[in-house]
């Protein structure tokens, strides 16, 4: 599994954010998680070396077949694709 | 961040160019200037990284033939503007979103998945007998009948490789 960057905060379960460093909606999602003060891990997939990038993309596609970003995975089961603010707030309340 | 720093002036130039092109083409940029700035930075980074300004909100593979449909403005901008009031990134928005009358809706990914893209690429094109081939610009839909597509689309300025054989 790819190395993710951990952000400390309130423990609301295992929260993973797959994002792109260039994407506006990914940035907004990350800001939202920060403002909610929850603990989460994230990775900028576009910055990964080739092999890790391919492995991580396969991992993203398992949760979100479109392989699009941001993909937020909560406890390995709940998946929120895109900056859906209300949905994210509710899931992490 | 891994050599991705882009000089401020370059991003400013990109924003001006995007604004100018949008205005002359009848398109509108997102009214949130900070958001536009961030996406312009993403486009500059991708241009530097891949050699072409691929969509900042999508993962490029770095081979132009495979990323062609997501070079900004992407093949999906116009249908997304029509249906959701914004392109996938929300760099481009509909007139009513630009005027602040409505909010853009979240845009689901319209681009086919990786496996679907492979099958589309290998599907044989349908051609019918016409005196000249007809070429379609995948960005704006412009059609022309000539031996080869123009170097740039006379309507939206998309490059020659954004054309597909239509007839």
pLDDT digits (tens, 9 = 90+) for A9-46: 999 999 999 999 999 999 999 999 999 999 999 999 99
Cβ neighbours of residue B55 closer than 8 Å, sequence gap 6 or more = B46, B70, B71, B72, B74, B88, B89
* Domains present along chain B, CATH in parentheses: 8-105 (3.90.460.10), 125-167 (2.20.28.10)
**Given pLDDT bands bounded at 50, 70 and 90, which one contains residue B92?**
very high
How many domains is chain A partitioned into structurally? 1
Categorize the per-residue pLDDT at B1 as very low, low, confident or very high, splitting at 50, 70 and 90: very low
Mark yes or no for CB contact B59/A57 under 8 Å. Answer: yes
Q: Which of A23, A47, A84 sits opposite B57 (nearest CB)?
A: A23
Q: What are the DSSP calls for chain B, one per residue?
A: -TT----HHHHHHHHHHHHHHHHHHT-EE-S-HHHHHHHHHHHHHHHHHHSS-B-TTS---S-HHHHGGGBSSPTTHHHHHHHHSB-TTSSEE-HHHHTTSSPPPP----SPPHHHHHHHHHSPPP----SS-EEEETTT--EEESSS--SB-TTT--BGGGEEE--
Cβ distance of B1 and A65 shorter than 8 Å: no
Which carries the bigger pLDDT value, residue B103 or residue B56? Answer: B56
Confidence of residue A1 (pLDDT cuts 50, 70, 90): confident
Q: How wide is the angle at C-alpha B147 spanned by C-alphas B74 and B145, nearest 5°?
A: 65
Closest partner residue to A68 (CB to CB) among B1, B45, B109 is B109
The CATH number covering residue A71 comes to: 3.40.30.10
* Residues A20, B58: C-beta atoms closer than 8 Å: yes
Which residues of chain B are within 8 Å of residue A88 when distances are taken between CB atoms?
Answer: none
The complex's ipTM works out to 0.92
User: Is A60 a domain residue?
Assistant: yes
- Are B1 and A45 a contacting pair at CB < 8 A? no
């Amino acid at each position: 599994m790819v190395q993710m960057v951990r952000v400390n905060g309130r423990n609301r379960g295992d929260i993973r954010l797959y994002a792109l460093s260039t994407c506006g909606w990914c940035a907004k999602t990350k800001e939202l998680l920060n403002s909610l003060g929850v603990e989460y891990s994230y990775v900028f997939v576009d910055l990964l070396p080739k092999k890790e990038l391919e492995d991580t993309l396969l991992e993203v596609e398992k949760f979100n077949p479109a392989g699009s970003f941001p993909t937020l995975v909560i406890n390995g089961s709940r998946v929120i694709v895109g900056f859906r603010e209300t949905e994210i707030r509710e899931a992490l309340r | 961040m891994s050599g991705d720093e882009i000089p401020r002036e370059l991003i400013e130039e990109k924003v001006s160019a995007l604004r100018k092109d949008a205005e002359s083409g009848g398109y509108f940029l997102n009214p949130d200037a900070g958001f536009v700035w961030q996406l312009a930075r993403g486009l500059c980074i991708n241009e530097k990284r891949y050699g072409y300004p691929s969509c900042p909100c999508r993962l490029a593979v770095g081979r132009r033939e495979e990323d062609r449909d997501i070079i900004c403005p992407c093949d999906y901008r116009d249908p997304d503007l029509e249906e959701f009031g914004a392109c996938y990134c929300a760099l481009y928005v509909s007139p009513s979103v630009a005027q602040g009358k409505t909010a853009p809706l979240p845009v689901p990914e319209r681009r086919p998945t990786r496996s679907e893209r492979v099958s589309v690429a290998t599907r044989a094109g349908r051609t019918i007998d016409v005196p000249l081939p007809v070429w379609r610009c995948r960005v704006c839909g412009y059609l022309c009948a000539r031996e080869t597509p123009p170097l740039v689309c006379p309507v939206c300025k998309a490059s020659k490789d954004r054309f597909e054989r239509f007839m």
